Amino acid sequence: MNFAALLKSELRKVIYARSTWWLLIGAIAFASLSTAVMPLVLDSTRVVVDGAETPGPLMDPNTVDAIFGKASAGYYFAMILGAMLLAGEFAKGTAIATFLAAPRRASVLSAKIVMAALIGLVVQIISATIASVVGLIVLTGYKHADPHLSAFGDLALTASISGIVMGLIGLAVGALIRNQTAAIVSLLAWMFLIDPILTVVLGSLHNEGSKFLFTSLISGMMDLHVGSTVTRNPLATMEFFSPLISVFLLVGYAAVLVGSALLTSLRRDID
């Protein structure tokens, strides 16, 4: 089976799996909710001075632009889909058939790497696009809260990078652990529990190590801009690496994990 045929096979598996569509819906809902609540939260911070309300954060165009960074929050689901690409084969008992159909194991793994990057990209682009529309609808209720066009270019760039990187990281963890449930639980535990705890602990100790954690790097990447002049996300509450360094480290993490997954998967028995 040639590489193009392997890619088509992997694409069919993704399209025909109901879990793919449920996770896509989850990504859309999560990203949309994350974006929709930000104007409400920011507007609630206005204070009254001498009987008059002070201008709220939504009067700042840069803050309005930063709201749309939340539209890329669906990367968690891209990561889960990546994990399911290979770990799902073992969960469903189809791994042996997959590798027998294409005896060159490296070709199968390469096809899955391409598909993990592609599905992560697609999930992020779709969820970020719909979430940005939701954000625009919510902002119609606030005067002068008009985002710059460049904010959507920034969103497209950060959503694309995060989708590809997190899809690959998910695939690598799924390949290393092989058990689908354990892989997904491990990923979510790290992102929602271990990573935040380490961020708080290291941050309280003024340790620069917190900047190297996944969530910190993703937050740092949100300052990546296409055409706008903003140098720092107005919604950021911590100091992060510069956008380019954050992207470089995220890609480096993905490369190390994928490389480790390739090495182990090429040598381990398939059962």
- The long-range contacts involving 5-11, CB below 8 angstroms and separated by at least 24 positions, are 6/102, 6/107, 6/108, 6/110, 6/111, 7/111, 7/114, 7/115, 9/101, 9/111, 10/85, 10/111, 10/112, 10/114, 10/115, 11/115
Q: For residue 42, is it within any domain? A: no
Per-residue pLDDT, 116: 95
Give how far the C-alpha of residue 170 lies from the chain's centroid of Cα atoms, to the nearest Å: 10
User: 47, 147 in Cβ contact below 8 A?
Assistant: no
Is residue 41 in a domain? no
**Total domains present in the chain:** 1
pTM of the model: 0.85
Tell me if 48 is assigned to some domain.
no
Residue 40 located in a structural domain = no
The answer to whether residue 259 is domain-embedded is: yes
Tokens of 68: 């749309």
**Can you name the residues that pair with 48 across neighbouring β-strands?**
53
Domain span at residue 160 reads 3-35+57-267
Mean pLDDT by 10 residues, the chain (271 residues): 83 91 96 92 64 64 84 94 88 72 78 94 96 92 82 90 94 90 93 88 74 85 63 60 88 93 76 58
Query: Does residue 49 lie in a domain region?
Result: no
pLDDT of residue 19: 92
- Whether residue 89 is contained in a domain is answered as yes
Count how many Cα atoms sit within 13 Å of the Cα of residue 153 in the half-sphere of its side chain: 8
Per the structure block, which two tokens stand in for 171?
């695939």
Q: Could you tell me if residue 47 is inside a domain? A: no
